[in-house]
Structure 1
Amino acid sequence: MRFEIVRGWLPGAIGGIVALHGEYYHRKAGFGLYFETKVARELAEFACRHDDARDGLWLAVSDGRVEGSIVIDGIDARGEGAHLRWFIVSDRLRGRGAGKALIGAALDFCRARGYRDCHLWTFAGLDAARHLYERNGFRLTRQARGAQWGVEVDEQRFDLRLEA
C-alpha cells in the first residue's frame, strides 16, 4: 500500500487521529471512552494553540485517508524538551515504513529547530513502537504503574538527547 507523509492539518485529520487511537488502544489494551475523549480533548487543545514555529504535525495518508500521525508539541521545548505525541500507524500501513517515516520527519523538525531534548510517554507492551523509538536513540528513563489513560498499565517515559 502506498502512502505519503503530509506536514500539517488536513480536513478530517483530527477525527481520524482520534479514531485511530480509540480503535487501536481499545483492542490492544482495553482503553475506553476516557482515553478516546482524552486524546480528542488534548489534540484539540494542541491544534488551537499550534504554532508552526515550534510545533509540528505529520500525517501518513493513503488513498486520501489518514492512516497515521505524529506530533511534536514544542510549547516547553526549551524547558522539559519537545514532546512527541499521538504517534500511531493504522493496521493497513503497519510494517510498511510509515512509522519510520513519521518519526524521521518529527525528529528532523526537532533538530532543525535546535531542540536539545525530546520525550514521549507510552506503556509497556507496544514492542514495535518501542523498537522504533530505541532505533532512533530514545532511552527508557522512567517506568511505573499508572492510569493516566484511564486503565492501569506500566507507563513508560522515553527521552532522547538531540544533537544540534
Structure 2
Amino acid sequence: METQIRQLREGDDRNSFDCGVDSMNEWIRHVANQHQKKNLSRTYVAAASSAPRTIAGYYALAATAVETDGMRGAKLPRSASAVLLARLAVDVRHHGQGLGEFLLMHALNVVLKASGRVGVQCVIVDALDDNAAGFYRKYGFEPFTDAPRRLFLPVATIEQA
C-alpha cells in the first residue's frame, strides 16, 4: 500500500475508522477536527493514494510541559517543554503492516523539525496498556520511574537516530 501522511482534513472519512479501541475511534470521529480548529492539537492521518479520504491510521501531537521528576538521564529543570504524542492508532484492516512504526517515525520527524525552531526537550506518551508501552520502548522511549506507562524520548535521542 502506497501511503501518504498529511494533516487531517474536513472531508476525511473519520466514521469508518476502527482500530479496535472505542476511545481512540471516538476521538478521531468526534474530537480531532474540533481540537485542530481550536489549535489544541494537530492530527496527521495516513491514507492510501488509492483511497485518499479513508484513514488507515493517525496520530495527534500537542504542546505541553512536563514535570521532570521520574525522568532518568540529564539534569533538567523541574518542568521542561515537551510534545505530547496524544494519540496513535492504526485501523484493524492495516494491523501488522508496519503502519504504526511509519506513523511514529513521521511524528518524531515532525517533533525534530519543530525543535529546531522552538525549544523542546522530549516527546511524552501515555500508553493505553502494557502492549502499547512495549511498542514505544522498542523505539527508545523510557518509562518514568513512578509511572511505567508514561514514557518519554529526549529530542537529543531522536537527533542521534
Per the normalisation by structure 2, the TM-score is: 0.67
Which structure 2 segments of 5+ residues have no match?
67-78
The worse-fitting range, judged by mean Cα deviation, of 36-45 and 86-95 is 36-45
Q: Which has the higher helix share?
A: 1
The correspondence of residues 1-164 of structure 1 with structure 2, limited to 5 A, is 2-13=1-12, 15-16=14-15, 19-20=17-18, 24-26=20-22, 42-50=31-39, 56-62=42-48, 63-64=50-51, 65-74=54-63, 76=65, 79-114=80-115, 115-125=120-130, 127=131, 129-141=132-144, 142-143=146-147, 156-163=149-156
Report if the CA contact (8 A) 1:56-1:109 is conserved.
Answer: no
Report if the CA contact (8 A) 1:5-1:102 is conserved.
Answer: no
The structure number with the bigger radius of gyration is 2
Which structure 1 segments of 5+ residues have no match?
145-155
1:45-72 CA-to-partner distances (Å, cap 9, x unmatched) read 4212338xxx643212134210100111
Fraction of identical pairs, as percent: 14
Report if the CA contact (8 A) 2:81-2:121 is conserved.
Answer: no
Report if the CA contact (8 A) 1:3-1:98 is conserved.
Answer: no
Per-residue deviation, 1:41: 5.7
Per the normalisation by structure 1, the TM-score is: 0.66
Give the total of aligned pairs. Answer: 137
Q: Give me the whole-angstrom Cα distance separating, in 2, the residues matched to 1:16 and 1:106.
A: 23
- Larger RCO, structures 1/2 (Cα 8 Å, 6+ apart): 1
Report if the CA contact (8 A) 1:72-1:85 is conserved.
Answer: yes
In structure 2, the residue corresponding to 1:46 is in which secondary structure? helix
Alpha-carbon RMSD = 3.1
